[in-house]
Amino acid sequence: MAKAKVGILISGRGSNMAALVYAAKLADCPYEVVLVAANDPEAPGLALARAEGISTFGLGHKGMKRADFDAVIDAELRKAGAEYVALAGYMRLLSPEFVNKWEGRMLNIHPSLLPKYKGLDTHQRALDAGDLVAGCSVHVVTAELDDGPVLDRIEVAVLPGDTAESLAARILMAEHQLYSRTLAHFVTADQRPEALLDHIRELALKLPESYEKPSYGAQAFGIEGGKMFAYFRRNHHGDGITAMLVRTSGGEEQAMLIESDPDLYHRPTYLGPAGWVGIRLDRQPVDWGHIEQWLGKSWRRAAPKRLTKLLDAADEF
């Protein structure tokens, strides 16, 4: 499976960046780091990334307008092929343009249990408040500082006699655990069966007079007054497959499809003999345009005459 491409932005030592880079070396890590960029060419983290064979980019931001500087970083990220951005100790406010461009694809790590203690001095603020538990959070980046949906957090107990430094050091260990896991989870979110079903549902229910109902451990999509036109199956009878089932014109087309691409198509149990074909959704990347076409074709085959007549008439105009 292709790995998601991540660009990391840092400002200093880059220990969180290093944790992300090392985790990416594990064979089953779903992301790879394609660029480490800093707003300071001397940031120690850049040397570490270079030594690991990762492309780096460092540029001092002094004298540049925020939006102009961010546009340079954005261009570097795109040149490197980044699909996601991980902020790791990036001590610079981002322009709204940059945040918009990476909306929903940019994460940040913050050393507090958000929504508590946004901004700086988080450790001292937790101590001053007498908190018994502090910690760190990873969140999706939105226009507001240290705001945006929190994806996950790790709690860290405050010890008697803790100083801001001693607490920060322990929270940093937790940060290193948290970031790569949350990022890995995030970049694979749209491949999970729940997300795949959501997507199928959205496409299927757009078709005229369609409805959804559970059916023998699958989700079925049918047409009012007509027949079923799609099923979403997940690990059906333990087969380990996530697939959408649609109607073909019959056994011949079904056999042809399977022969043409046996990794994508299969003859599903029960419905196979009736001419249905299974299209796998657990082969990345899913071609959603193709899935939508199939839903349309299958819908037509399942629709009652009164609906297809209307559509045929509409087609003639």
Q: Which stretch binds ligand GRF (CB under 6 A): 7-15, 64-72, 187-195, 305-313?
A: 7-15
89 is a contact residue toward ligand GRF (CB under 6 A):
yes
Comparison of 24 and 88: residue with beta carbon closer to ligand GRF? 88
- Map tokens 């949350």 to a residue: 182
Quote the CA–CA distance of 37 and 186 in Å, as a whole number: 21
| Number of residues near ligand GRF (by CB under 6 A) | 14
Name the residue among 40, 36, 89 with its Cα closest to residue 60.
40
Identified binder of ligand GRF from the candidate list 20, 109, 113, 158, rule CB under 6 A: 109
Comparison of 22 and 282: residue with beta carbon closer to ligand GRF? 22
Quote the CA–CA distance of 214 and 232 in Å, as a whole number: 10
88 is a contact residue toward ligand GRF (CB under 6 A):
yes
Strand pairing category for 106-110 and 84-87: parallel
110 assigned to active site: yes
40 is a contact residue toward ligand GRF (CB under 6 A):
no
Catalytic residue among 110, 123, 236, 266: 110
Name the residue among 300, 301, 302 with its Cα closest to residue 314.
300
56 is a contact residue toward ligand GRF (CB under 6 A):
no
Q: Where are the alpha helices (DSSP H) in 41-163?
A: 44-51, 66-79, 96-101, 122-128
The residues, ordered by sequence, that sit 6+ positions from 98 with a Cβ below 8 Å of its Cβ are 67, 70, 71, 73, 74
9 is a contact residue toward ligand GRF (CB under 6 A):
no
Q: Which stretch binds ligand GRF (CB under 6 A): 5-13, 25-33, 95-103, 181-189?
A: 5-13
226 is a contact residue toward ligand GRF (CB under 6 A):
no
13 is a contact residue toward ligand GRF (CB under 6 A):
yes
243 is a contact residue toward ligand GRF (CB under 6 A):
no
By beta-carbon distance, which residue lies closest to ligand GRF? 89
User: What residues between 149 and 188 interact with ligand GRF by CB under 6 A?
Assistant: 172, 175
Characterize 28-43 residue by residue with b for buried, 16 or more Cβ atoms within 10 angstroms of its Cβ, and e for exposed.
ebbbbbbbbbbbbeeb
- Which DSSP symbol is given to 94? P
The least CB distance from residue 137 to ligand GRF, in Å, is 9
Name the residue among 63, 64, 65, 82 with its Cα closest to residue 9.
82
199 is a contact residue toward ligand GRF (CB under 6 A):
no
Active site positions, annotated: 110
List residues near ligand GRF by CB under 6 A.
10, 12-17, 88-89, 109-111, 172, 175
